[in-house]
């Protein structure tokens, strides 16, 4: 049942970014309270959910996004924000326990020196090349490198519903399109600039 605190549109958005972020942070990365987590692409659908969930799990959260979205990412709970046009997180001398890439431009080579011992590089946005190399990189570095598709599980949606009810998580909506403007909805998604999810409704509200 849709929680009273979210709209139908927000409920639809839970099933995309939220489930992916939950899978990578909780199940693959096994994020712990007090750990330092960096979310690359922190304003997207997966990224905006990841910022909120990492914060919920008690992590110190750094979001990487453009300066235009820095305020939004801070409001979602990020402790620090890095504008990727002004600085490269990987060459600042800082280190994180988890680097979660939702963009697809974070390689193991680029990020390994920005990971703590026992660090995890989580690749939601990585291509096939990154994924094929991940087991070997994990074996030889002492770090964990992991990607691949997140499962769609009913129990994860139920958990995200619970987090909506506690106020720990609120799906971010970029824009709404009625079904007959579906091509514009696709164009917005493909822009790579959306903040949260694009929602398509069957009827005008």
Ligand X SMILES: NC(=O)c1ccc[n+]([C@@H]2O[C@H](COP(=O)([O-])OP(=O)(O)OC[C@H]3O[C@@H](n4cnc5c(N)ncnc54)[C@H](OP(=O)(O)O)[C@@H]3O)[C@@H](O)[C@H]2O)c1
**Tokens representing 3?**
């929680």
**Tokens representing 112?**
């390994």
Beta strands in 48-103 (DSSP E): 60-65, 80-83, 96-101
Q: Please, which residue, 195 or 199, has the CB nearer to ligand X?
A: 195
CB atoms within 10 A of CB 203: 6
- Which part of the chain contacts ligand X (CB under 6 A), choosing from 2-10, 51-59, 90-98, 103-111? 103-111
CA distance 195 to 202: 22
Q: Which of 121, 124, 164, 173 binds ligand X (CB under 6 A)?
A: 124
Rounded least distance, CB 117 to ligand X, Å: 25
Q: Does 21 bind ligand X (CB under 6 A)?
A: no
- What is the length of the chain? 205
Rounded least distance, CB 72 to ligand X, Å: 9
- Considering only residues 40 through 99, tell me which ones interact with ligand X, judged by CB under 6 A: 40-41, 43-47, 64-66, 68-69, 84
Q: Which of 103, 115, 164, 185 binds ligand X (CB under 6 A)?
A: 103
What kind and span of H or E run contains 200?
A: strand 197-201
CA distance 36 to 198: 29
Binding interface with ligand X (CB under 6 A)? 17, 20, 40-41, 43-47, 64-66, 68-69, 84, 102-105, 124-125, 149-150, 192-195
């Amino acid at each position: 049942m849709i929680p009273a605190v979210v709209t139908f549109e927000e409920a639809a958005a839970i099933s995309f970014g939220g489930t992916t972020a939950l899978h990578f942070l909780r199940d693959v990365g096994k994020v712990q309270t007090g750990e330092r987590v960096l979310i690359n692409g922190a304003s997207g659908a997966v990224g905006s959910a990841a910022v909120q969930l990492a914060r919920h799990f008690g992590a110190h959260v750094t979001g990487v996004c453009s300066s235009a979205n820095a305020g939004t990412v801070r409001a979602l709970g990020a402790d620090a924000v890095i504008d990727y046009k002004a600085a490269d997180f990987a060459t600042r001398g800082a280190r994180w326990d988890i680097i979660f890439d939702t963009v697809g431009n974070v390689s193991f080579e680029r990020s390994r020196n920005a990971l703590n011992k026992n660090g995890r590089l989580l690749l939601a946005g990585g291509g096939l090349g990154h994924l094929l190399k991940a087991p070997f990189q994990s074996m030889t570095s002492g770090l964990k490198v992991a990607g691949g598709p997140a499962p769609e599980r009913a129990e994860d949606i139920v958990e995200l519903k619970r987090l909506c009810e506690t106020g720990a998580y609120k799906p971010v909506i970029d824009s709404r399109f009625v079904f007959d403007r579906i091509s514009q909805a696709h164009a917005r998604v493909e822009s790579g600039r959306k903040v949260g999810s694009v929602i398509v409704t069957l009827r005008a509200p």
